[in-house]
Amino acid sequence: QEYTGIKMEVVNWSEAAAKEIADKVGNRKVFLVAATLRPETMYGQTNCFVGTAIKYGVFAINDKEAFVCTHRSARNMSFQGTTAVRGQIHQLHEIEGSALVGTKIKAPFSVNPEVYVLPMDNVLATKGTGVVTSVPSDSPDDYQTLTDLRKKAEFYKIKPEWAAHDPIPVISTPTYGEMIAPAVVKQFKIQSQKDIKQLAEAKEIAYKEGFYNGTMLIGEFKGLSVQEAKPKVRDSMIEKGLAFPYAEPEGLVISRSS
Protein backbone atom coordinates (compact mmCIF):
# COMPACT_ATOMS: atom_id res chain seq x y z
CA GLN A 1 0.00 0.00 0.00
CA GLU A 2 1.40 3.38 -0.95
CA TYR A 3 0.41 5.85 1.75
CA THR A 4 1.31 9.46 2.20
CA GLY A 5 2.76 10.29 5.62
CA ILE A 6 1.34 13.64 6.73
CA LYS A 7 3.51 15.60 9.18
CA MET A 8 1.28 17.22 11.80
CA GLU A 9 3.54 19.40 13.95
CA VAL A 10 2.77 19.62 17.64
CA VAL A 11 1.73 23.13 18.64
CA ASN A 12 0.70 22.39 22.24
CA TRP A 13 0.91 19.09 24.09
CA SER A 14 -2.05 17.91 26.12
CA GLU A 15 -1.47 18.25 29.87
CA ALA A 16 -0.76 14.54 30.22
CA ALA A 17 1.68 14.43 27.31
CA ALA A 18 3.44 17.63 28.36
CA LYS A 19 4.38 16.08 31.71
CA GLU A 20 5.92 13.02 30.07
CA ILE A 21 7.53 14.38 26.97
CA ALA A 22 8.86 17.87 27.60
CA ASP A 23 12.40 16.86 28.58
CA LYS A 24 12.70 13.85 26.26
CA VAL A 25 12.91 15.35 22.78
CA GLY A 26 15.72 17.90 23.04
CA ASN A 27 15.32 20.75 20.60
CA ARG A 28 13.50 18.64 18.05
CA LYS A 29 10.25 19.64 16.44
CA VAL A 30 7.76 16.86 17.08
CA PHE A 31 5.19 15.67 14.54
CA LEU A 32 2.31 13.25 14.78
CA VAL A 33 2.52 11.36 11.49
CA ALA A 34 -0.75 10.27 9.90
CA ALA A 35 -0.83 7.72 7.05
CA THR A 36 -3.42 8.53 4.40
CA LEU A 37 -4.53 7.10 1.06
CA ARG A 38 -6.42 10.33 0.33
CA PRO A 39 -3.92 13.21 0.17
CA GLU A 40 -6.36 15.19 -2.00
CA THR A 41 -8.76 15.44 0.95
CA MET A 42 -6.28 17.15 3.30
CA TYR A 43 -8.01 20.53 2.79
CA GLY A 44 -10.87 19.19 4.90
CA GLN A 45 -9.00 17.97 7.99
CA THR A 46 -10.91 18.85 11.16
CA ASN A 47 -8.97 16.85 13.77
CA CYS A 48 -6.74 13.81 14.11
CA PHE A 49 -7.46 10.41 15.68
CA VAL A 50 -5.43 8.04 17.84
CA GLY A 51 -6.37 4.79 19.57
CA THR A 52 -6.46 5.38 23.33
CA ALA A 53 -5.09 1.91 24.15
CA ILE A 54 -2.37 1.98 21.50
CA LYS A 55 1.22 2.58 22.53
CA TYR A 56 3.03 5.16 20.42
CA GLY A 57 6.72 5.88 20.26
CA VAL A 58 8.37 9.25 19.93
CA PHE A 59 11.15 8.54 17.45
CA ALA A 60 14.13 10.75 16.65
CA ILE A 61 14.21 11.02 12.87
CA ASN A 62 17.32 13.18 12.97
CA ASP A 63 18.69 15.98 15.20
CA LYS A 64 15.88 18.33 14.24
CA GLU A 65 12.73 16.23 14.06
CA ALA A 66 10.89 13.51 15.98
CA PHE A 67 7.85 11.52 14.85
CA VAL A 68 5.02 10.12 16.96
CA CYS A 69 3.80 6.83 15.45
CA THR A 70 3.73 3.11 16.14
CA HIS A 71 6.97 1.18 16.53
CA ARG A 72 6.28 -0.98 13.50
CA SER A 73 5.67 2.01 11.25
CA ALA A 74 8.86 3.70 12.47
CA ARG A 75 10.68 0.50 11.57
CA ASN A 76 9.14 0.52 8.10
CA MET A 77 10.16 4.17 7.68
CA SER A 78 13.72 3.33 8.63
CA PHE A 79 13.97 1.17 5.50
CA GLN A 80 12.40 3.82 3.28
CA GLY A 81 14.91 6.63 3.58
CA THR A 82 12.91 8.57 6.17
CA THR A 83 15.32 8.18 9.09
CA ALA A 84 18.95 9.25 9.33
CA VAL A 85 20.42 5.71 9.39
CA ARG A 86 18.92 2.87 7.36
CA GLY A 87 17.27 0.16 9.48
CA GLN A 88 17.91 2.04 12.72
CA ILE A 89 15.27 3.62 14.89
CA HIS A 90 15.86 5.73 17.96
CA GLN A 91 12.96 5.82 20.37
CA LEU A 92 13.04 8.78 22.74
CA HIS A 93 9.90 7.92 24.65
CA GLU A 94 6.79 5.74 24.67
CA ILE A 95 3.33 7.16 25.30
CA GLU A 96 -0.25 5.86 25.41
CA GLY A 97 -2.72 7.19 22.90
CA SER A 98 -4.97 8.34 25.72
CA ALA A 99 -2.27 10.80 26.84
CA LEU A 100 -2.06 12.33 23.36
CA VAL A 101 -5.75 13.27 23.29
CA GLY A 102 -6.17 17.04 23.53
CA THR A 103 -2.81 17.80 21.91
CA LYS A 104 -3.02 20.66 19.41
CA ILE A 105 -1.28 20.05 16.08
CA LYS A 106 -0.91 21.66 12.68
CA ALA A 107 -2.94 20.19 9.82
CA PRO A 108 -1.02 20.87 6.58
CA PHE A 109 -3.13 22.19 3.68
CA SER A 110 -6.29 22.21 5.81
CA VAL A 111 -8.75 25.08 5.94
CA ASN A 112 -8.24 24.63 9.70
CA PRO A 113 -4.53 25.31 10.26
CA GLU A 114 -4.63 23.84 13.77
CA VAL A 115 -6.66 20.87 15.00
CA TYR A 116 -6.86 18.60 18.06
CA VAL A 117 -6.06 14.96 18.67
CA LEU A 118 -9.19 12.96 19.54
CA PRO A 119 -9.91 9.30 20.41
CA MET A 120 -11.30 6.76 17.93
CA ASP A 121 -12.32 3.20 18.83
CA ASN A 122 -11.45 1.69 15.47
CA VAL A 123 -7.85 2.76 15.01
CA LEU A 124 -5.78 -0.32 14.18
CA ALA A 125 -2.28 -0.56 15.64
CA THR A 126 -1.37 -2.85 12.75
CA LYS A 127 -2.08 -0.42 9.92
CA GLY A 128 -0.39 2.76 8.74
CA THR A 129 1.22 4.73 11.55
CA GLY A 130 -1.62 4.27 14.06
CA VAL A 131 -2.33 7.99 13.65
CA VAL A 132 -5.28 8.91 11.42
CA THR A 133 -6.01 12.37 10.17
CA SER A 134 -9.72 13.05 10.10
CA VAL A 135 -11.67 14.25 7.06
CA PRO A 136 -15.34 13.90 8.04
CA SER A 137 -16.60 15.23 4.69
CA ASP A 138 -15.15 12.25 2.81
CA SER A 139 -14.48 9.47 5.31
CA PRO A 140 -17.54 7.77 6.84
CA ASP A 141 -15.47 6.50 9.80
CA ASP A 142 -14.25 10.00 10.56
CA TYR A 143 -17.70 11.54 10.17
CA GLN A 144 -19.38 9.01 12.46
CA THR A 145 -16.65 9.16 15.09
CA LEU A 146 -16.74 12.95 15.17
CA THR A 147 -20.53 12.77 15.53
CA ASP A 148 -20.20 10.32 18.45
CA LEU A 149 -17.62 12.50 20.17
CA ARG A 150 -19.78 15.59 19.87
CA LYS A 151 -22.81 13.78 21.30
CA LYS A 152 -20.93 12.31 24.25
CA ALA A 153 -17.94 14.53 24.89
CA GLU A 154 -17.89 13.75 28.60
CA PHE A 155 -18.06 10.00 28.06
CA TYR A 156 -15.13 10.21 25.66
CA LYS A 157 -13.24 12.49 28.07
CA ILE A 158 -12.78 15.31 25.59
CA LYS A 159 -13.46 19.01 25.74
CA PRO A 160 -16.25 19.95 23.29
CA GLU A 161 -14.08 22.67 21.77
CA TRP A 162 -11.58 20.04 20.59
CA ALA A 163 -14.28 18.66 18.27
CA ALA A 164 -15.62 22.03 17.16
CA HIS A 165 -14.58 22.11 13.48
CA ASP A 166 -17.45 21.20 11.13
CA PRO A 167 -16.91 19.03 8.04
CA ILE A 168 -15.74 21.06 5.03
CA PRO A 169 -16.80 20.40 1.42
CA VAL A 170 -13.74 19.18 -0.49
CA ILE A 171 -15.04 16.96 -3.30
CA SER A 172 -18.27 17.09 -5.24
CA THR A 173 -19.92 14.09 -6.93
CA PRO A 174 -23.12 13.88 -8.98
CA THR A 175 -24.72 11.29 -6.67
CA TYR A 176 -23.72 12.53 -3.21
CA GLY A 177 -23.30 16.28 -3.63
CA GLU A 178 -20.60 18.20 -1.78
CA MET A 179 -20.01 15.82 1.10
CA ILE A 180 -19.92 12.10 0.45
CA ALA A 181 -19.42 10.81 3.99
CA PRO A 182 -22.49 12.23 5.77
CA ALA A 183 -24.65 11.19 2.82
CA VAL A 184 -23.40 7.60 2.82
CA VAL A 185 -23.60 7.33 6.62
CA LYS A 186 -27.25 8.34 6.35
CA GLN A 187 -27.90 5.97 3.46
CA PHE A 188 -26.55 3.02 5.46
CA LYS A 189 -28.40 4.13 8.63
CA ILE A 190 -25.16 4.11 10.60
CA GLN A 191 -25.71 5.12 14.23
CA SER A 192 -22.29 4.92 15.84
CA GLN A 193 -18.65 4.05 15.21
CA LYS A 194 -19.50 0.60 16.58
CA ASP A 195 -21.41 -0.19 13.34
CA ILE A 196 -18.22 -1.58 11.90
CA LYS A 197 -19.69 -3.69 9.13
CA GLN A 198 -21.83 -0.92 7.64
CA LEU A 199 -18.94 1.51 8.00
CA ALA A 200 -16.70 -0.80 5.96
CA GLU A 201 -19.30 -0.87 3.17
CA ALA A 202 -19.79 2.88 3.39
CA LYS A 203 -16.03 3.39 3.09
CA GLU A 204 -15.90 1.23 -0.03
CA ILE A 205 -18.60 3.32 -1.70
CA ALA A 206 -17.09 6.61 -0.58
CA TYR A 207 -13.70 5.60 -2.00
CA LYS A 208 -15.10 4.60 -5.39
CA GLU A 209 -17.48 7.50 -5.70
CA GLY A 210 -14.82 10.06 -4.77
CA PHE A 211 -12.14 8.55 -6.97
CA TYR A 212 -14.15 7.91 -10.14
CA ASN A 213 -16.75 10.67 -10.03
CA GLY A 214 -15.27 13.36 -7.78
CA THR A 215 -14.29 16.91 -8.67
CA MET A 216 -12.14 19.09 -6.42
CA LEU A 217 -14.02 22.00 -4.84
CA ILE A 218 -11.05 23.60 -3.14
CA GLY A 219 -7.30 24.18 -3.25
CA GLU A 220 -4.64 24.55 -5.88
CA PHE A 221 -6.30 21.94 -8.11
CA LYS A 222 -9.88 23.11 -7.76
CA GLY A 223 -11.98 22.01 -10.75
CA LEU A 224 -9.79 19.00 -11.56
CA SER A 225 -11.03 15.45 -11.21
CA VAL A 226 -9.95 13.61 -8.06
CA GLN A 227 -7.99 11.14 -10.19
CA GLU A 228 -5.93 13.98 -11.64
CA ALA A 229 -5.62 15.96 -8.42
CA LYS A 230 -4.60 13.11 -6.09
CA PRO A 231 -0.95 12.75 -7.23
CA LYS A 232 -0.60 16.50 -7.70
CA VAL A 233 -1.66 17.31 -4.14
CA ARG A 234 0.60 14.55 -2.87
CA ASP A 235 3.61 15.85 -4.81
CA SER A 236 2.91 19.40 -3.69
CA MET A 237 2.83 18.38 -0.01
CA ILE A 238 6.00 16.34 -0.35
CA GLU A 239 7.79 19.12 -2.18
CA LYS A 240 6.91 21.55 0.64
CA GLY A 241 8.31 19.13 3.24
CA LEU A 242 4.86 18.60 4.78
CA ALA A 243 4.60 14.93 3.81
CA PHE A 244 6.63 11.93 2.65
CA PRO A 245 5.95 8.61 0.92
CA TYR A 246 5.22 5.73 3.27
CA ALA A 247 4.77 2.22 1.97
CA GLU A 248 3.51 -0.85 3.73
CA PRO A 249 4.13 -4.32 2.36
CA GLU A 250 0.59 -5.64 2.09
CA GLY A 251 1.06 -9.19 3.41
CA LEU A 252 2.79 -7.96 6.54
CA VAL A 253 -0.02 -5.68 7.60
CA ILE A 254 -2.29 -8.42 8.86
CA SER A 255 0.28 -10.86 10.14
CA ARG A 256 2.03 -8.49 12.52
CA SER A 257 0.73 -7.86 15.99
CA SER A 258 2.88 -5.00 17.27
CA distance 139 to 142: 5
187 CB burial (10 A radius; 0-12, 13-18, 19+): middle
Q: Which amino acid type is present at position 165?
A: H
As measured in angstroms, the least distance from the Cβ of 147 to ligand ZZB is 15
CA distance 30 to 37: 22
- Judged by CB, which is closer to ligand ZZB: 13, or 109? 109
- Judged by CB, which is closer to ligand ZZB: 25, or 205? 205
- Judged by CB, which is closer to ligand ZZB: 83, or 110? 110
Q: Where are the alpha helices (DSSP H) in 102-249?
A: 140-151, 180-187, 196-213, 226-239
Note the residues at the interface with ligand ZZB (CB under 6 A): 35-38, 41, 122-124, 127-128, 130, 132-133, 135, 138-139, 203, 206-207
As measured in angstroms, the least distance from the Cβ of 120 to ligand ZZB is 7
For the chain, the residue count is 258
- Judged by CB, which is closer to ligand ZZB: 11, or 37? 37
As measured in angstroms, the least distance from the Cβ of 134 to ligand ZZB is 7
With both helix axes pointing from N to C terminus, report the angle between 180-187 and 196-213 in degrees, rounded to the nearest 10: 140
As measured in angstroms, the least distance from the Cβ of 25 to ligand ZZB is 23
